[in-house]
């Protein structure tokens, strides 16, 4: 059976990994990047606590000893369902089963100025770009003589009160209160603020009330200005505009406020549901198709009794769906009954800063905060990294940062945009 998997995130790589070594399957993994990366730690790359290589790993190296799994660098242009063909930007692939595990992309809710000027937080490229921009703006602030203009460089507005927004706000607050004051003595008397804004009435909306309150208290103690029931409506001329009429002067709007899935040419419009997500049945098969499946953030599944509105767009859903689909493909080959997907909620957590985190466990219902939750967060995220090398380098960097209260990764490294791109690079 020829299986083509589009996307090598949590869902795609777990599906491919569980089918690896099974001679009944010829698996091709397609991704626009040649590496897998770990999204929950992107903010640590963006804030220069980790190098990109600490949370990423090349697909070809990962599957180098798996004879039935191959990798293809490319992007999907369309699908021809009539002859089971997926059209890429660099060729075509035939399939018996096509699986979309393409995740989600940043959603700017139609605000064009925000899309053009804000800093997204979704991909590894976003993280590197954010690190470069923020470090360059710190350098500009260090030589800026106008206090009003300097404050624009130093103020940071984070839109979105989910885990990413909370984590990056806490990181910035700790950096402002510690290492940056040591390295930028020119700014020691400058006024700067970290703002965390969200349109809802609480941070970490899916988590418990205790976690929400603990997070709010910890962030405000760090000096983060939390603004709830506050929605961004525009961002231009270094000014963030809010629905209630308030504004904040800043050159740094970090966008972590929402995501949207992608649609693909050749798939019936009726196959997509809320948020452009593929509508799938209990076995993750896309509605109105015979042999196309979707996993993780890119799909919405309404057949799980415990989640009648669809599953949360979190890593564990993607991982479990990928593994369940692998079992069903194997069951299909063996003519065994298929297993409907049921999500096992293992809890949720968010880190706020050093020795500060919150965690909720569903069964039995338990809440943790402070050092215990922080240690749990570190352990789970460390063990979730794809390779031993990633775990070792990440653990080393964390320990250095913890005991030395510093790190040495704040370097501005960016490509030379004056050079023309190679024709082959553009083609791929």
- 34-92 tens-digit pLDDT: 999 999 999 988 888 888 889 999 999 999 999 999 999 999 999 999 999 999 999 99
Given 258, 276, 291, the domain boundary residue is 258
Instruction: List the CATH number of the domain containing 291.
Output: 3.50.50.60
Q: Please check whether residues 66 and 153 belong to one and the same domain.
A: no
Q: Please check whether residues 150 and 139 belong to one and the same domain.
A: yes
What's the domain range around 143?
A: 112-258
* Structural domain includes residue 413: no
Distance, CA of 224 to CA of 218 (rounded, Å): 9
Q: Please check whether residues 230 and 131 belong to one and the same domain.
A: yes
* Structural domain includes residue 422: no
Distance, CA of 125 to CA of 140 (rounded, Å): 23
* Structural domain includes residue 381: no
Q: Please check whether residues 252 and 116 belong to one and the same domain.
A: yes
Query: Once rounded to an integer, what is the mean pLDDT over residues 193-215?
Result: 95
pLDDT for the residue 182: 80
Of 123-132, 186-195, 257-266, 342-351, the range with the lowest mean pLDDT is: 186-195
Helix, strand, coil percentages for the chain (3-state, nearest 5): 40, 25, 40
Residue 191, classed as helix, strand or coil, is coil
Q: 371: which residues sit within 8 A by CB, 6+ positions away?
A: 355
Q: Please check whether residues 268 and 248 belong to one and the same domain.
A: no
Given 236, 258, 280, the domain boundary residue is 258
* Cis amide leading into 207 (omega within 30): no
* Structural domain includes residue 367: no
Q: Please check whether residues 197 and 216 belong to one and the same domain.
A: yes
385-415 confidence digits (pLDDT tens): 988 889 998 998 888 877 766 665 566 666 5
Element housing 356 (H / E): strand 356-361
Q: Please check whether residues 203 and 192 belong to one and the same domain.
A: yes
Tokens of 59: 């697909």
| Gyration radius (Cα) of the chain, Å | 22
Distance, CA of 207 to CA of 204 (rounded, Å): 6
Instruction: List the CATH number of the domain containing 189.
Output: 3.50.50.100
Q: Please check whether residues 228 and 275 belong to one and the same domain.
A: no
pLDDT at 383 over 70: yes
Contact 196, 224 (CB under 8 A): yes
Q: 274: which residues sit within 8 A by CB, 6+ positions away?
A: 300, 310
Q: In percent, how much of the chain has pLDDT > 90?
A: 75
Q: Where are the beta strands (DSSP E) in 167-325?
A: 194-197, 224-227, 232-236, 239-242, 247-249, 252-255, 259-260, 278-280, 292-294, 299-301
Query: Once rounded to an integer, what is the mean pLDDT over residues 377-392?
Result: 91
* Structural domain includes residue 371: no
pLDDT for the residue 193: 92
pLDDT at 427 over 50: no
Higher pLDDT among residues 2 and 147, named by residue: 2
* Structural domain includes residue 208: yes
The number of distinct structural domains making up the chain is 2
231 — pLDDT class (breaks 50, 70, 90): very high
Q: Please check whether residues 284 and 225 belong to one and the same domain.
A: no
Q: Please check whether residues 203 and 77 belong to one and the same domain.
A: no
* Structural domain includes residue 363: no
* Structural domain includes residue 342: no
Q: Please check whether residues 126 and 88 belong to one and the same domain.
A: no
Tokens of 20: 């690896």
Write phi, then psi, for 196 (nearest 5 degrees).
-120, 115
Given 316, 333, 350, the domain boundary residue is 333
pLDDT for the residue 428: 41
Q: Please check whether residues 120 and 166 belong to one and the same domain.
A: yes
267 — pLDDT class (breaks 50, 70, 90): very high
């Amino acid at each position: 059976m020829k299986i083509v998997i589009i996307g090598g995130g949590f869902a795609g790589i777990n599906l491919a990994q569980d089918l690896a070594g099974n001679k009944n399957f010829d698996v091709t993994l397609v991704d626009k990047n040649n590496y897998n990366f770990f999204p929950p730690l992107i903010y640590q790359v963006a804030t220069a606590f980790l190098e990109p290589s600490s949370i990423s790993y090349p697909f070809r190296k990962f599957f180098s000893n798996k004879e039935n799994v191959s990798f293809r660098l490319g992007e999907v242009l369309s699908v021809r369902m009539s002859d089971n063909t997926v059209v890429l930007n660099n060729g075509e692939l035939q399939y018996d089963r096509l699986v979309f595990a393409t995740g989600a992309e940043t959603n700017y809710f139609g605000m064009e100025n925000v899309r053009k000027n804000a800093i997204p937080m979704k991909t590894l490229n976003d993280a590197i770009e954010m690190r470069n921009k923020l470090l360059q703006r710190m350098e500009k602030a260090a030589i800026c003589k106008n206090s009003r203009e300097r404050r624009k460089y130093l103020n940071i507005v984070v839109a979105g009160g989910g885990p990413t927004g909370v984590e990056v706000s806490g990181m910035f607050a700790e950096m402002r209160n510690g290492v940056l004051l040591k390295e930028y003595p020119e700014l020691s008397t400058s006024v700067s603020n970290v703002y965390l804004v969200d349109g809802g009435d609480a941070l970490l909306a899916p988590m418990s009330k205790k976690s929400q309150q603990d997070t709010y208290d910890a962030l405000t103690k760090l000096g983060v200005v939390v603004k709830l029931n506050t929605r961004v409506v525009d961002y231009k001329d270094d000014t963030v505009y809010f629905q209630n009429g308030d504004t904040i002067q800043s050159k740094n709007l970090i966008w972590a406020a929402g995501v949207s899935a992608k649609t693909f040419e050749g798939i019936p419009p009726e196959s997509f549901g809320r948020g452009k997500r593929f509508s799938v049945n209990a076995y993750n098969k896309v509605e109105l198709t015979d042999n196309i499946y979707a996993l993780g953030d890119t799909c919405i599944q309404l057949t799980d009794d415990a989640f009648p509105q669809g599953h949360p767009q979190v890593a564990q859903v993607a991982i479990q769906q990928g593994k369940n689909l692998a079992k069903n493909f194997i069951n299909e080959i063996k003519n065994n009954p298929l297993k409907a997907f049921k999500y096992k909620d293992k809890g949720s957590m968010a880190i706020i800063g050093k020795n500060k985190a919150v965690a909720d466990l569903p069964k039995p219902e338990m809440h943790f905060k402070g050092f215990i939750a922080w240690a749990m967060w570190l352990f789970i995220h460390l063990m979730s990294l794809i390779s031993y090398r990633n775990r070792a380098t990440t653990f080393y960097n964390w320990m250095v940062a913890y005991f030395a209260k510093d790190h040495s990764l704040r370097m501005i490294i960016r490509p030379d945009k004056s050079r023309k791109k190679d024709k082959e690079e553009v083609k791929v």
